[in-house]
Amino acid sequence: MLSLDTRRELALALTAILKRSNIATAAQSLSSSFHRHFSCSRNWRQKKIFDLQVYVSRSRSPYWNLSYEDYLFKKFPVYTSYSSSSTQVPKKILFLYTNHRSVIIGRNQNPWRETNVEFLRRHNVPLIRRRSGGGTVFHDDGNVNYSVMMPGNMFDRDEHAQLLCTALNPVFNQRGEETSLSVNERHDIVDQNGRKVSGSAYKLQRGKAYHHGTMLLNSRLDLLSNLLHHSVDGGLEVVEGPGVPSIRSAVSNIGISNETFTDAVILAFKREYTAGSENAVKVMYVDEGSMTKEEAPEINKSIEELQSWEWTFGSTPKFVHRFLLQDSTPAVSFTVKEGTILDLESDLPEFTAIKDRIIGTPYRGPEVASIINSKLWKERLIRSI
Amino acid sequence: MSYQKSILMASTNMAAFRSRLPAAARSTRFVPLLCNRFYSNTSPKTIASLFTVRRTAPLTSPFTVSSRRGYVNGKDEELPEGLRYTEEHEWLALEDGNLAVVGITAYASKALGDVVYVELPSVGTSIVAGEPIGAVESVKSASDIYSPVSGEIIEVNEQLDKKPGLVNAEPYRKGWICKILMKDTTELESMMDNKGYETFIASS
């Protein structure tokens, strides 16, 4: 039997339905009254109010989007335990962006191990190293990325992933689809078949943290498997060395449009983190053209760094890259640190001859190929390095 | 069972407890290892450690690194003596006067999860207190480490390249991150000691 309060609220809501012809709003007030009842009586949880800011990017450039995300994080205030006061409203930023086709690797990963560098080059897909940790992901126009920035003492890996699930599951229900999302132990969002639809990464700094992730809506999964098919899987290359490995999972699209996703997520965040009035949150649309004079130099500098070879390939942790012949015998091994060749091991004459010259050169296809004389190896190394 | 219960009851009254210790132990400094946080169950192993008294010899400097190795029970679960801590969960131990050894605490490494990679700073970099000196990456999250003091980095723990898990397994011993030659030892005074750090963790 429902309590007196709930019955009163229901009665009010029903009269509202009769009075107004706008069914959607009445339904919303009904559901919100139910929500309030259940959350109050079952597990009372004080709703934490945030100063929520929502940014939606109109740009599709992965360099610009990642740089803007870094900029937002840099400008996010630092909340340390000694500076936080109970009266201060903590800030939370939600940033949603979509990138053109690209492959993004984690900060401490090895691109040769994680991606098929040759395939990337052939299809002109940019490879970008982001600043947060984690594994390798594929971005394209059918994938919307979300980034949530929060104070450091409120860092939680699952909270926002769970919120996304609760935001999206009603959408599938309404459409009659059987898709149902949940969060697994690895903090990934998976569908009812256990296929991954979203991968997350986190970054913790003094007093603040962010959680960002992908959401596969209508992505080209066929390209994904080819691009993230490691160079080493072909059997002709071996990469040894530290670095964060990617964990492979079966993936799936959830099949809603970018706009539907964006709207659902913004609504869910508004409901959860603000007092709920319609104009509690202003959504800001940003792109290259909306940068102010103060923002532009920093963001552009960040874009340049992301595009540089030194950051993308040169900052790979020390590794050994071994090339094999068709019969799986090792042909040559390059030991590379900070983008320069430290050592070369080979039994083949074409490499032992140039060993002294090659040590110290940057580990880039054209440079390495210019030192080697063998035509076959020139071609192979230009493609693979 | 009653034996264990009597120990716990006695421990709430320090004076009564100390009077039951052997005479020699009564007079030395004794760090009570009674935090429930660290002992979730009262197994004989943990009870035994309550009676082991750390005798700290008179020290010339406030903390020495020899005490870093004198753990009671090999597990790095309670805070070793003689270290200083920052609010970012880094610990610092002094070796030979000016040389500071820096790492992250067990609390931080537990919160991060399995560490898969440690970004070490370069030897020879001169840093200012509060600057980032690298990062620790666990499954999915990259967390920056900040230098507690100013000085020059003269050594980094290369073992972490191959075995980043040392940060989880032995955060205070083999999982050290770098050694800094300090310029100014007065910076240490503003850092927390064991008690301060324990209170800090409890309140966060």
Average pLDDT, whole number, for chain A?
85
pLDDT of residue A1: 62
Cβ of residue B59 closer than 8 Å to a chain A Cβ: no
More confident site: A254 or A243: A254
The verdict on B38 touching A (C-beta cutoff 8 Å) is no
Contact A135 B162 (CB under 8 A): no
A264-270, Cβ contacts within 8 angstroms, sequence gap of 24 or more: A264/A167, A264/A168, A264/A171, A265/A94, A265/A96, A265/A146, A265/A164, A265/A167, A265/A168, A266/A54, A266/A56, A266/A94, A266/A96, A267/A167, A268/A163, A268/A164, A268/A166, A268/A167, A269/A52, A269/A54, A269/A92, A269/A94, A269/A163, A270/A52
A186 and B161: CB-CB below 8 Å? no
Q: DSSP 3-state assignment of A284?
A: strand
Going by pLDDT thresholds of 50, 70 and 90, the confidence category of residue B95 is confident
**DSSP label of A153:** G
Mutation target vs B (from A104, A107, A108; most B CBs, 10 A cutoff):
A108
B140 with A243: Cβ contact below 8 A: no
Q: Please, are residues A266 and A54 in contact by the beta-carbon 8 Å criterion?
A: yes
Per-residue pLDDT averaged across A144-173, rounded?
A: 93
Residue A3: pLDDT above 90?
A: no
The DSSP line for B98-153 is TEEEEEE-HHHHHHH-SEEEEEPPPTT-EE-TTSEEEEEEESSEEEEEE-SS-EEE
Do the beta carbons of residue B200 and residue B87 sit within 8 Å? yes
Least Cα separation, residue B39 to chain A (angstroms): 25
- Chain A interface, mutation test: which of B138, B139, B140, B200, most A Cβ atoms within 10 Å? B140
Q: Which residue has the higher pLDDT, A241 or A103?
A: A103
Question: Under an 8 A CB cutoff, do B140 and A134 touch?
Answer: yes
Contacts with A317 from chain B: Cβ below 8 Å = 117, 161
Put simply, the answer to whether B140 touches A317 (Cβ < 8 Å) is no
Q: What is the maximal distance between C-alpha atoms in chain A?
A: 90
Q: Average pLDDT of chain B? A: 73
Q: B36 or B6, which is more confident? A: B6
B204: nearest CA in chain A? A81
**Reported confidence tier of residue A22, pLDDT bands at 50, 70, 90:** low
Per-residue confidence (pLDDT) for residue A233, from 0 to 100:
65
Separation of CA A60 from chain center: 14
**pLDDT one-digit tens code per residue, A227-247:** 887 666 667 788 888 888 788
Residue in chain A lying closest to B146 (CA): A206
Angstrom distances, CA of residue B74 to CA of B45, B56, B69, B77, B172: 11, 18, 9, 9, 11
Mean pLDDT confidence for A295-300: 94
A140-152: average pLDDT = 94
| Position B63 pLDDT exceeds 50 | no
Residues facing A145 on adjacent strands: A97
Least confident of A138-142, A215-219, A349-353, B26-30: B26-30
Model confidence band, residue A47 (pLDDT cutoffs 50, 70, 90)? confident
Q: B178 pairs with which residues across the strands? A: B102, B156
Q: Does B203 touch chain A (CB under 8 A)?
A: yes
Q: Quick check: B95 contacting A, CB < 8 Å?
A: no
d(CA A103, CA A62): 9
CA distance A76 to A83: 15
Q: CB of B120 within 8 A of CB of B175?
A: no
What is the average per-residue pLDDT within B96-116? Answer: 89
Rg, C-alpha atoms of chain B: 18
Taking residues B164-168, what's their average pLDDT? 92
Chain B hits for A153, CB-CB cut-off 8 Å, are: 204
Q: Backbone phi, then psi, for A119, in 5-degree steps?
A: -65, -40
Q: Give pTM, 2 decimals.
A: 0.74
Q: Are strands A51-57 and A283-286 parallel, antiparallel or unpaired?
A: parallel
**Which residues does chain B have within 8 Å of residue A187's beta carbon, measured at their own beta carbons?**
140
Tell me what the mean pLDDT of segment A169-194 comes to.
92
pLDDT at B11: 46
CB-based contact (8 Å) between B17 and chain A?
Answer: no
**Rounded CA gap, A244 and A151, in Å?**
26
Contact A311, A82 (CB under 8 A): no
What distance in Å separates the CA atoms of residue A330 and residue A114, rounded to the nearest whole number?
Answer: 20
Buried (b) or exposed (e) across B28-48, using 16+ Cβ within 10 A?
eebeebeeeeebeebeeebee
| pLDDT confidence of residue A249 | 85
Which has the higher per-residue pLDDT, A181 or A32?
A181
**Is the torsion defined by CA of A3, A277, A72, A136 positive or negative?**
positive
Confidence of residue B81 (pLDDT cuts 50, 70, 90): confident
pLDDT score for B189: 83
**Cβ contacts of A33-42, under 8 Å, gap ≥ 24:** A33/A6, A33/A9, A34/A6, A36/A9, A37/A2, A37/A3, A37/A5, A37/A6, A37/A9, A41/A3
- pLDDT bin (cut points 50, 70, 90) of residue B73 is very low
Q: Do B141 and A201 touch (CB under 8 A)?
A: yes
Beta bridge partners of A237: A323
Is residue A203 less than 8 Å (CB to CB) from chain B? yes
Q: How confident is residue A2, by pLDDT bands cut at 50, 70 and 90?
A: low
Taking residues A160-174, what's their average pLDDT? Answer: 94
Is residue B142 less than 8 Å (CB to CB) from chain A? yes
B146 touches chain A (CB under 8 A): yes
- Asked if B200 is an interface residue toward chain A (Cβ–Cβ < 8 A), one would say yes
Contact A103/A126 with Cβ under 8 angstroms?
Answer: yes
CA A273 to chain centre: 22
Whether B144 sits inside 8 A of A204 (CB atoms) is yes
Q: How far is B136 from chain A (nearest CA, A)?
A: 9
Do B164 and B183 meet the contact criterion of CB atoms below 8 Å apart?
no
**Cβ atoms of B150 and B128 closer than 8 Å:** yes
